[in-house]
Structure 1
Amino acid sequence: MENVTKKEFFAKYASKESKDNIKSAAIFSYICAAISVALGLYTHNYSMMFDVVLVIGFGLGIQFARSRVCAVLMLVYSILNVVYMVMSIGRIAGWWLILIGIYAVKGTFNLNKEYKRFLKDGTIPENTKR
Structure 2
Amino acid sequence: MSWLDKISWTDGLVPVIAQELGTNQVLMFAFMNREALQLTMETGHAVYWSRSRGKLWHKGEESGHVQKVHALRLDCDADVILMTVEQVGGIACHTGRHDCFFQKLENGEWTTDKPVIKNPEEIYKHE
| Higher Rg of the two aligned structures | 1
Q: Point out the structure with the larger strand share.
A: 2
Normalised by the length of structure 1, the TM-score is 0.24
| TM-score normalized with structure 2 length | 0.24
